A and B are shown apart, each in its own frame.
Chain A
Amino acid sequence: MTHAVLAVGLIGVSAWAVAVFPRSVLVFLLFQGSLLFAYVARIPSWLRVTLLGLALLVLMPTIGFFNGYYLEVATQVGIFVALALGLNIVVGLAGLLDLGYVAFFAVGAYSWAIPGSPQANLIFGGNAFPLSAWWFYAFLFVGLMVAAGAGILLGLPVLRLHGDYLAIVTLGFGEVIRVLANNLDKPINLTNGPKGITPIGRPPVPFGMPYSEAFYFLVLLIVAVVILVNRRLENSHIGRAWEAIREDELAAQAMGVPLVRSKLLAFACGASFAGVMGVVFSAKQIFINPESFTFLESIGVLAMVILGGMGSIPGAVLGATVVTVLNLQVLKGLSLWLNELKNAGVTVLGYNLADLPTQLEPAKYERMIFGVILILMMIFRPQGIFPVRRRARELAKQV
């Protein structure tokens, strides 16, 4: 009972606080924390669903009207949640360490960026492009299929490799995709190289909603579908076969699990989530270039999966949220705060902060965050914050 009161109270108070102090990062973090509390609190599940639904469908968009940046953060979180869930299938369930995962995100992004912008005219000639905005919705599926195809294409040659060799080869594949995106502006201009592609078409939006709100809802919808798909896969013979491969590849095969087909399916499923989000990402950003698809991003997504707990769906959601918020808000907030202190000429223990080196920008230390997460989790809690809970089955007199 106290939990229920606390959960309702926290969400209410923090949402109100965000409305009153729309610029305070700390208050927004409190709001996110209250959602996490509502998720873990011991409350009836109808209350949990109502609270989380209310927060995500009503409160968050409302907050977005007060401070658009928060909505942007929430949308980014959603994109990374989908990526983390995709990688979770490959790494967490099937136990295949993919270090080039962001390549599939890139494939999805470019598959809409090229026909959704005048870029395609450079390839096919004529004036047919950009495609009309409605095509965006069709390209969600195209992006899915293209990325899944890329997953199979990568999977076919590499699936015989074990553990760490597979990791290195996928890393190489990720780099190859990035270098290709960077250099395929000649002999035929496919990707426009490092300059990137712009302007990328955005989908038509109902009721004249602002784009930021529309993308938030679109991402939320896709995340919901991704979670549903993930759960269904996990609780089926397909998911069990993946886990069996992770646990003992040889025994799995001897028990009748077709290794190559199962692994390809894992790669394709994981890749397809990234592909769909790639399409959304390219439309949301209007502009993409290869810088968005570096090894750093792959490791970032890996850090999300590891932080939350390999194989765990709530873990992937939590990991993606924490890491994205750390990057977008905490580090940036720290940078801004430091600058304010500097400009105000604050001194700490006789040291004038204005004398701090100008190159010291906390916002740039993503790698350190990822690194610390990976090392600490591996040493102290390899199962993650929300470890997989084995599903206890109802075994009432079925016999």
Chain B
Amino acid sequence: MDYPLLLGIFPQVLLDGIILGFMYALIALGYTMVYGVLEFINFAHSEIFIVGAFVGVEILLSLRSAGVLDTLPWPLVLLFVLVAGMAISGALAVTVERIAYRPLRTAPRLIPLISAIGVSFFLQDLIRLVESIWRNAFNLVYPTMDQLNYRFELTETIDVPVKSLVVIAAALAMLWVLHVIVNRTTIGTAIRAVAEDQAAASLMGIDVNRIISLTFLIGGAMGGAAGVLFGVQYGLINPYSGFIPGLKAFTAAVLGGIGNIPGAMLGGLVLGLLEAFAASYLSLLTAGAFGAEYKDIFAFSILILILIFRPKGLLGEVVRGRA
């Protein structure tokens, strides 16, 4: 076995895992917050996430065709794209809840879940339809920005592109903002109250419908931000590329304890790292018999095992936990 190689790629794999982990964490927040409040798996969250990526790519492509992409300062562009992605994904999440979930809130639990699966599929093809008409293409590539692609060479084998650092920094900033919202504001208190006991919260004068909308807004916005970062980091997107990351992020949420906000972050990081290591090392360790393709099986197996043996996840199934 090639130990120097195994060791040599370690930092690179670690970095990849952390980036992937933050991505999952950001998406997982949307699942976990909604589950905390409604005990409902928002199956369409993966599409709300990928819509963020499409908003991002559309803005960047427009800027490029206007010829200003490389003249504007990149942090400003990125901030604008992030905010736009968050706004549209957040608004979409609220709309979806209003149309497809709210009428079903008192129905048996499987009914809104099936509706959510419907929304997920509908949105995938809606994105495809819109992009096909608008751009005559639905597999889109994020335009590159030179400064973002600059790579710091740490050693001969390891380098870190600026965009990865930006992705990590942005993810951390998002998580911090969410922490402040959930724990330091009245909105956060209201969300936690509704999660704890809807009837009691409404007796205390909290407008439950408004808080549920807000939860979808915040979760959707986080998903939208993750979408933009996903595009910046990995480049190629299509209307269906949200599905698998969404499923993995849900796995992360379950892994951390669904409904539990810090759990979602922890679960995201753990899953991202596991997956990155599985993808890089599985093939090396089995001499090519099992390759990186098995990383999905790996993630789903974790999901299945966790649900069967420790359905409350690593940190337990709570919503009121501090972020």
Give A residues with C-beta under 8 Å from B.
Answer: 95, 97, 99, 157-158, 160-161, 163-165, 167-169, 171-173, 175-176, 179-180, 182-183, 186-187, 295, 299, 302, 306, 357-360, 364-368, 370-375, 378-379, 382
Contact = CB atoms under 8 A, between A and B. Distances in A.
B121 A179 contact: no
A55 B112 CA distance: 39
B165 interface: no
Contacts of A365: 125, 128-129
Contacts, number: 137
Contacts of B128: 364-365
Nearest to A178: B296
B303 A172 contact: yes
Given A370-B118, A382-B111, A183 B294 contact: yes
B122 interface: yes
Contacts of B117: 99, 299, 302, 371, 374
Given A359-B132, A364-B128, A378-B104, A179 B294 contact: yes
Contact of B136 (A95, A169, A358): A358
Q: Which of B117, B254, B293, B300 has the most CB of A within 10 A?
A: B117
Contacts of B182: none
Contact of B297 (A169, A176, A359): A176
A378 B114 contact: yes
B280 interface: no
Given A368-B125, A374-B121, A176 B113 contact: no
A164 B308 contact: no
Q: Which of A357, A364, A367 has the most CB of B within 10 A?
A: A367
Contacts of B24: none
Interface string B118-144: 111111111011001101111000000
Contacts of A169: 303-304, 307-308
Contacts of A97: 110, 113-114
Contacts of A295: 243
Contacts of A379: 100, 103-104, 115
Contacts of A182: 293
Given A176-B301, A179-B297, A306-B114, A161 B121 contact: no
A143 B74 CA distance: 58
Given A186-B288, A378-B114, 17 more contacts: A97-B114, A163-B109, A172-B247, A172-B301, A176-B301, A179-B293, A306-B114, A357-B133, A364-B125, A368-B121, A370-B118, A371-B117, A371-B120, A371-B124, A373-B118, A375-B122, A382-B107
A183 B109 contact: no
Contact of A165 (B126, B247, B297, B307): B307
Contact of A161 (B124, B289, B290, B311): B311
Contacts of B133: 357, 360
Contacts of B307: 158, 161, 165, 168-169
B316 interface: no
